[in-house]
Structure 1
C-alpha cells in the first residue's frame, strides 16, 4: 500500500469480490476509511454478503455511523436483504433508532422482506404505517415499470381533469397535432411543444403530464393547480436526475427535491416511511405524496384523458 493511501484505490463500484477485498485488508487497507466514506457502508449498498461479512469482522464498531446512519440501515433502505442479514449476523443492531425514530428492523417490516429479522417486542408497525405500506405495494405494482426519463408531471389532490383544465385556462389540442409531436418530440423547438400537456383523472385527483418536458412542474402551473389543495411536481431531468417540488394552496413550498432518492437525515417519521416505500420510484412517490391512487400507468405513460394547450404566459414568476 502506498504511503498516505487507504488501500481502496480503484475500487469504484467493485465491492463484490471478497478475495480482492480480503487481500487489500491483509495488505493494510483501512477497514474504517475509504475515500468517499466508510467501506462497510459502501459494501452494504454495492457489495456482496461475503464482502460485508469480511469488512464487518475487521471494523471496531459494526454500528458506526456515516451521515447519521449505520451500514445496516443502508442495506435495508437499499433493498439488500442478504447484506442486511450478514450485518446482523456480525452483531449489527436491527432495532437501533435512526432517522425519524425508525430503526432498520422496524423499517424492514414495511418493505418486501418483513421477516428479515426476529421482531423485537413492541417493534411492530402501527395501523397507519401498515396501511401506508400496503398502499405502497399496491401503487408500485399498479404503475409497473416504464420509461419516464424526460417526463414532467404534476400530481394534484382532490380535483379531476376537467377542473385542472379550467384552472389552467387550457384549450383542447387536435389529436393529429399531438400524434405528430409524439412521433419525434425532440425534433420540435421547445417553444412549439412546451404548452402542450396531457391531463388524466385518477382516484384521489388528477395527473398533468408532458412526456417530453418540464411544463407541468413550472411554478405558474403548480400554483394554479394547487389552489385549495396540494400538488407534487416532478421533472425526470435526463441530465441531473429527478427533481421534485411541492405546491400547497397556491404557493410553492418546496423546490429542487429528490423524490425516490431515499430517506434524508432530517426527515420526519412519515417522510422516512414514504421515501423507503418509494425508493427508486419517483413517479410512485409523487402520486403517493398527493394521495393519488392510480390503478395503472396510463396517467403518466399515456394516452391521457385529454391533450390541452396552455395559454402563453410567464410561468416562472407564478
Structure 2
C-alpha cells in the first residue's frame, strides 16, 4: 500500500502513464524516491510512459538506485518497455551494470526481442554460445505454443520417455466410451473427484507431456515420482485461485515444490535460471516444457487433443 504522506495515494497502474498527473503530484510534493514499499522510477519503468520515466529520472538522486537488487532499467527491459529503457539510458542509467546472476540490463536485452536496444561496448562479452542457443529455442518455443488459455490446467513435462512409457509407468488404462465423450465436451459439469483419474498423454520432441485441462492430477507427487524414474519432470498446475504452482522431480526425488514458473527472475537464481525466467516470463507452460528439454512444435500436447486419454488406477497419489 502507498503511504498518503509520500504523495502517491490513490494512483492506479494506469496512472503511471499520465505525464501531466505525475508531474502535478511531483510539483505538489510527491516523493520521487519513495512509492509505498518501493521506488516510483521502478514502478514507472515497468508500467509508465517514457515521458513519465524521463520526468522521474530527472528528479531522483540516482537513476540507477536499487530496489530488490535491480535498477529501474532492469525493470524496463524485463517488462519489454523498450521506450522506457531508452529514456532511462538517455537519463544516464547504465545498461551494462551487472545485477542478478551476473546479468546486466543490456546483456539481458540481447536475449530479448530487441537485441539492438543499446550500443554494445567493445569489451562486453555478450551471450555465450549456450545462451544464444537457449535464447533461440526460447523464442521458437514461445511462438510454437502461441497464445493459449491454460488456467486450471495441470501438466507434467517429462524428459526422455514417450507416451507409451509414461502410460506403462503409471499403470494407466485407456479411457474411452460415451462417458468420456461427455466429459471432454463438458468437463466442468463434473465434480473434480469424478474426473481426477483421467489424464491425457502425448509424445513430443524430447519426451512427453501429461495433461489434465481441468485439474491438478499430473502434478500430484505420486504421478511425478513414477514418471521421473531415471529422468526429470517439471510439474505445473495453473491454479485459478492462487496462480501457477510448479515442482521439480528427478529420479523419484522431489527437488523443488511451490515454485512459480513464468514469474520472472529472482535474486537467488543462477545465471542459467535468470535467462530461462526472462525467456519464459508470463509463460508458465513454456517454462515447464523448457526445463524438461521438451521441444513442442505446437500447443496440442497441452490443450488437446492428446495422443491418448487414460485413466489412472486408484491409489494414494499424495504419499509419493
TM-score by length of 1: 0.98
In the other structure, the counterpart of 2:102 is 101
Quote the RMSD (CA, aligned, Å). Answer: 1.0
Name the SS for the 1:264 alignment partner: coil
Distance in 2 (CA, whole Å) between partners of 1:238 and 1:172 is 28
Equivalence for 1:55: 56
Deviation at 1:190, TM superposition (A): 1.4
Distance 2:156 2:262 in 1: 15
Match of 2:89 in 1: 88
Among 196, 199, 202, the alignment partner of 1:197 is 199
Q: Distance in 1 between matches of 2:187 and 2:4?
A: 52
Q: Alignment partner of 2:63: what SS?
A: coil
Distance (whole Å) between structure 2 residues aligned to residue 174 and residue 215 of structure 1: 18
* CA deviation map 1:143-202 (0-9, x unaligned): 111111000000000000000000001000005333211222121111110000000000
In the alignment, does 2:38 pair up with 1:37? yes
Moved over 6 A (4+): none
Measure the CA separation in 2 of the matches of 1:84 and 1:19. Answer: 20
Change (3 A) 1:175 1:53: farther
Matched residue, 1:269: 271
Gaps of 5+ in 1: none
Partner in structure 2 of residue 64 of structure 1: 65
Aligned to 2:28: 27
Q: Give a deviation string over 1:37-62, Cα, whole Å, max 9, x none.
A: 10000011111111111101100000
SS in 2 for 1:274: helix
Matched with 2:222 is 220
- The CA distance in 2 between the partners of 1:169 and 1:189, in whole Å, is 24
Using the size of structure 2 for normalisation, the TM-score is 0.97
User: Helix, strand or coil: the match of 1:15?
Assistant: helix
| 1:208 paired residue among 188, 205, 210 | 210
Q: Secondary structure at the match of 1:118?
A: coil
Matched residue pairs, number? 316
1:265–1:241 distance in 2 versus 1, CA, 3 Å: same
Consecutive unaligned residues in structure 2, runs of 5 or more: none
